[in-house]
Structure 1
């Protein structure tokens, strides 16, 4: 019988909910040794929902010999510091997106992980949706033919009350606006599907719908990995919020991925639909989505530890997506 992997969860904000539900589902594979927050209130609130041991002592939890891996769900500005402690203690690390506040700090974090000999993954769960995996397969196996164009739209909504919370939408806390905080999931998936070789042109702005430091609307013209044309639109000003959309034109057909639902329409006449598993958190209720994809991220992370390989979304993969975010912002602000 395979022994369970000891896990500590560091950070008990909203992002801890889908991870904690996933860990309950995976109780046959993991032993949650600690759920950690500096906030006594958050520790108590989490303990009311989940029967995990809790503590406010992060260092003690990380250095617990029974802990093999740490799930880091703290704010992005702390990822480098917390992950460094974990890696130095010999613990595998799964960190929430984005990697860090800046590309420079994200690069330092990935360098540390790559030289540690440990497993390091990043939570970019859209890649793990069944429809995303099917679209990836269709592209890899040539079912759509040669890609001619790709389109990405993230028409989400966040009310002003969201940005009125301390630090929301600021460089100091979030590192950026809609691209880094919300659209990075879809942008990472889009890049993994069709590649992006160049940002041709971009426009970055803050609409009149929000009072915030960073951007809430980005449009961009991209060159895809094979030289085809790509376009992007991402916003949190599209009330009341709609599912993100990826569309791909190929020489053999068309693919439309809306939220978690995929429709393949091939010139041969064949149609295929992979249905969504639920909502996507596109509106004011930011955690309004199922935890299936988070559970799949954790399964991949646990398999990576067992098999001695890097997770599907490795540090290098996440860094490439964050570099694309930076390139788009540079093009739009230049």
Structure 2
């Protein structure tokens, strides 16, 4: 495969795992240039990761050697940057969520299709070995029919985390714990269970944080397949614990915990897949291996070359964002909400 020419826009907190993954993939992906409105961040990225600096965003988008753009900016400018990239004939891989606005997120998906461009989204937990192993087992019917499920994200973020400008706000981040942290687990949960049909929820900002949006959410869900499910998502659970997804099937129970998988079969058989590296999340946002990012970036590059959709494309990410918005709407209204279909 000819190496994919990549431009990077945004050089903040999200950069390190991508940079480490791209260093591993230098034969498959060539970083042509990187840009940030901050000269300090451009210089730091060049020093830390030897990323070539773009003269400007316009220059990066106009460079014919750049085939795709990796967008690592805060979410509130994702749609604007993606639109410019599509107009310049580029493919786009964007950090989660698609955008802070569900309407603009849907427009991104439509624009990619109209431009004939590939749109991928960084929801890397789908690329974990444990997730993909469980997905294959479910497809093979090894757990039987899912009867019930749960998703728990008992994480911790201190006040200093939320004191950063814009963090935990609707305007910049699109929300609190659901859109910024639990989106990863909810994306995996939705993919494994086949989706959510209806939801009832409560959301709060606890006394542990000063922030605009929610830091603790509890929800009851009806799966599209008829099963029942629950969600608890929090960044107010000190000291922070691994996220967990549990599926109860007619043939056994599967538990995903912080990147590890355990299967307990009703026939007495069990299966264990341990995690070899830290999965992060519990209390340290960046304390995780870059292995899943590497798999995601490689899949995106191969998708561009084959002109196919990556595992987590815009449509898949939009489904997860619709679920999050339905949970927030249910919490705001105090009534059950239907999760909009495609």
**TM-score (normalised: structure 2):** 0.95
Corresponding residue for 2:340? none
Q: Equivalent residue for 1:271?
A: 270
Tell me if structure 1 keeps the 8 A contact 2:241–2:283: no
Match of 1:202 in 2: 201
Aligned counterpart, 1:58: 57
Q: What secondary structure, in the 3-state scheme, does the structure 1 residue paired with 2:167 have?
A: coil
Q: Is the 8 A contact 2:118 2:304 kept in 1?
A: yes
Question: 2: distance between equivalents of 1:115 and 1:247?
Answer: 38
Q: 1:253 to 1:284 in 2, by over 3 A?
A: closer
2:339 match: none
The match for 2:114 is 115
Residue-by-residue CA offset, 1:181-237 (whole Å, 9 max, x unaligned): 100000000000002332331001111100100000011000112110010000000
Gaps of 5+ in 2: 334-342
CA distance in 1, matches of 2:301, 2:324: 28
Q: Show structure 1 runs of 5+ residues with no match.
A: none
Q: CA deviation at 1:56?
A: 5.1
Q: Which residue of 1 aligns with 2:253?
A: 254
| Partner SS for 2:144 | coil
- Find the counterpart in structure 2 of residue 12 from structure 1: 11
**What is the aligned partner in structure 1 of residue 165 from structure 2?**
166
Counting matched residue pairs gives 333
Alignment partners' CA distance in 1, 2:218 and 2:55: 42
- Say if 1:6 and 1:68, in contact at 8 Å, map to a contact too: yes
Residue number in structure 2 paired with 1:281: 280
Q: What residue number does 1:222 align with? A: 221
SS in 1 for 2:318: helix
Displacement, 1:27?
0.6
Distance, in Å, in 1 between the alignment partners of 2:56 and 2:282 is 35
Whether the 8 Å contact between 2:196 and 2:323 is mirrored in structure 1 is: no
Alignment of 1:59-74 (within 5 A): 59-74=58-73
Give the SS at the match of 1:183. Answer: helix
CA contact (8 A) 1:43 1:56 kept: no
> 1:326 matched to which residue of 2?
325
| Residue 306 (structure 2) aligns with | 307
SS in 2 for 1:67: coil
Take 1:272 and 1:214, find their aligned partners in 2: how far apart are those partners?
A: 39
Deviations 1:131-170 (A, max 9, x none): 0001111111100001110100000000001111111111
Residue of structure 2 in register with 1:244 after alignment: 243
What SS is found at the alignment partner of 1:222?
strand
Moved more, 195-204 or 221-230: 195-204
CA contact (8 A) 1:199 1:220 kept: no
Alignment partner, residue 338 of structure 2 = none
Deviation, 1:113, is 1.1
Question: 1:40 and 2:39 equivalent?
Answer: yes
Aligned to 1:184: 183
Preserved CA contact (<8 Å) 1:157 1:239? yes
Greater displacement, 266-275 / 219-228 = 266-275
Residue 260 (structure 1) shift: 0.4
Aligned-residue Cα RMSD (Å) equals: 1.0
Which residue number corresponds to residue 128 of structure 1?
127
Retained in 1: the 8 A contact 2:151–2:244? yes
Match of 2:212 in 1: 213
| Cα distance between partner residues in 2 of 1:40 and 1:70 | 19
- Tell me, what secondary structure is at the counterpart of 1:249? strand
Deviation beyond 4 Å, 4+ runs, structure 1 = none
